[in-house]
Structure 1
Amino acid sequence: MALRRRAVALTALAGVLTVAGCGGDGDPKAKGQASPGASAKPGKAKAKAAEAAPKEPFTIAFGGDTHFEGGLRGRLASPATALGPIARTLRAADLAMVNLETAITTGGSPAPGKEFTFRAPPSAFAALKGAGVDVVSMANNHGMDFMESGLRDSLKAIKRTGFPVVGIGRNAEEAYRAHRVTVKGNKVAIVGATQVLDDHLIQAWTATDAKGGLASAKDEPRMVQAVKDARKGSDLVIVHLHWGQELKACPLPRQQALAKKLVEAGADVVVGGHAHVPLGGGYMDGKYVHYGMGNFVFSSANGQTANSGVLLLRVEDGKVGAAKWKPARISGGLPMPLSGAAAAAEVKRWNGLRSCTGLSARP
Structure 2
Amino acid sequence: MAAGGDGRVGRTGAAAALLALALTACTTPAQAPTEASPTPSTPPSGEPSTSATSPAPEPPDPGPVRIALAGDVHFEGVLASRLRDPATALTPASAALGSADITIVNLETSVGTGGRPEPGKRFTFSAGPEAFEALAAAGVDVATMANNHALDFGRARLPSTLRAVYAAAAADPPLSVIGLGRSAEEAFAPAFVDVRGTLVATLAASVADQDPTADPTGRWAATDERGGIADALDPARLLAAVRRTRRAADVVVVYLHWGIQGQRCPSDDQRSLAAALVDAGADIVAGSHAHQLQGDGRLGNGYVAYGLGNYAWYSPGDAATSRTGVLHLTVRPRANGPRPPYVVRAIWGPERIGADGLPATTTPADATDFRSDRESLRACAGLTD
Q: TM-score, normalised by structure 2?
A: 0.80
Distance 1:74 1:56, change over 3 A: same
Alignment pair present for 1:179 and 2:186: no
SS in 1 for 2:290: coil
Cα contact 1:326–1:347 (8 A) shared by 2: no
Alignment pair present for 1:116 and 2:140: no
Alignment pair present for 1:190 and 2:202: yes
Gaps of 5+ in 1: 6-31, 39-51
| Cross-structure match for 1:223 | 238
Measured in 2, the distance between the counterparts of 1:114 and 1:217 equals: 21
1:320 to 328, 343, 346: 343
Measured in 2, the distance between the counterparts of 1:132 and 1:262 equals: 27
Cα contact 1:37–1:53 (8 A) shared by 2: no
SS in 2 for 1:127: helix
What CA RMSD, in Å, does the superposition of the two structures yield over aligned residues?
A: 2.1
TM superposition shift of 1:199: 3.4
Distance 1:36 1:299, change over 3 A: closer
Greater helix fraction, Structure 1 or Structure 2: 1
- The 5 Å alignment of 1:1-363 reads 4=4, 32-35=6-9, 54-162=61-169, 163-200=175-212, 201-303=216-318, 304-317=320-333, 318-331=341-354, 332-361=356-385
Distance 1:60 1:339, change over 3 A: farther
Gaps of 5+ in 2: 13-58, 170-174, 334-340
Cα contact 1:269–1:288 (8 A) shared by 2: yes
- Per-residue CA deviations over 1:66-119 (Å, capped at 9, x if unaligned) read 100012111112233211422101111111010000110233111122100111
Aligned length: 324
Measured in 1, the distance between the counterparts of 2:168 and 2:189 equals: 19
Cα contact 1:59–1:312 (8 A) shared by 2: yes
Cα contact 1:56–1:185 (8 A) shared by 2: no
Structure of larger gyration radius: 2
TM superposition shift of 1:59: 0.8
Cα contact 1:3–1:134 (8 A) shared by 2: no
Aligned AA for 2:383?
L
SS in 2 for 1:257: helix
Distance 1:265 1:55, change over 3 A: same
Distance 1:215 1:123, change over 3 A: same
TM superposition shift of 1:54: 4.9
Measured in 1, the distance between the counterparts of 2:8 and 2:312 equals: 26
Measured in 1, the distance between the counterparts of 2:98 and 2:363 equals: 19
Aligned AA for 1:165?
V
Cα contact 1:72–1:299 (8 A) shared by 2: yes
- Per-residue CA deviations over 1:10-65 (Å, capped at 9, x if unaligned) read xxxxxxxxxxxxxxxxxxxxxx2433798xxxxxxxxxxxxx77522121111100
SS in 2 for 1:282: strand
Measured in 2, the distance between the counterparts of 1:165 and 1:310 equals: 19
Q: TM-score, normalised by structure 1?
A: 0.85
TM superposition shift of 1:183: 1.3
TM superposition shift of 1:214: 0.6
Hey, which bits of structure 1, 4+ residues long, moved more than 4 A? 1-5
Measured in 2, the distance between the counterparts of 1:118 and 1:258 equals: 28
Measured in 2, the distance between the counterparts of 1:178 and 1:319 equals: 20
Measured in 2, the distance between the counterparts of 1:241 and 1:263 equals: 13
